[in-house]
Amino acid sequence: MNPFNERTSNHSTWPVILTMYNIPMWLCQKRKYLFLTVLDSGPQQPGFDIDVFLEPVMEEFEKLWRTGELMYDAFQKETFTLRAIIFVTINDHPTLFALSGQIKSKTRCLVCLDDTKWVYLDGSKKNVYIRNRRFLKQGHKYRNKLYLKYFGNIPKDEDRPSERRHDGQYVLQMMKNIRVIYGKKKMDGTPRDRSTPPIEVVPFKKKSIFFQYLEYWL
């Protein structure tokens, strides 16, 4: 977001806000129930380096998940152990790619991941994602041969990507060989080699900090 209402891109502000989901839904987004935990402000967006700012928050939530915190209930007039988890994140797509570490190019489809089908258009200098017909149910009229010309003349009746790509263990397996060095530049100002490429090509550049601290995120 841009808090100064400027029409330029020379400033970037990324807030991280927490809210409680064990209260009525109409109260979740009220100001008094929103907690500003991180405010990353600067001339450039943090990108993958957002993990550096999120690490203290992740350490607190790991503690809340494993041991909890002793709290006092004023209504019951007794103490209890408070535990908490990160239930869900709400963000735009640039932030989603920064949090997950997913590459923003040929394999940026959030559903297909490493099974993304794409083609590069020389005229517009853009990647276009194809084979969308495979997401249609069997027997749909667009799977008919009459519509081949609208789908790249691909006669093969493909199935949609496997559901196991949405499983945390499958994603974690793809990230196991990735090593990341945070920071956009070296001390001398030259670009830093951000990661050590894994043996096989995967659609991720880093292991998300959620996987590192939150075992239930799988």
Mean pLDDT of the chain: 78
Mean pLDDT on 77-81: 93
Distance CA(161)–CA(164), nearest Å, equals 9
More confident residue, 147 or 94: 94
Q: How confident is the model at residue 103 (pLDDT cuts 50, 70, 90)?
A: confident
136 has pLDDT over 50 = yes
Residue with tokens 């559903």: 111
- Give the predicted TM-score (pTM) of the model: 0.70
Q: Which residues fall within 8 angstroms of residue 41, CB to CB, at 6 or more apart?
A: 11, 12, 13, 14
**Domain ranges across the chain:** 12-102+164-217
What pLDDT shows up at residue 40? 84
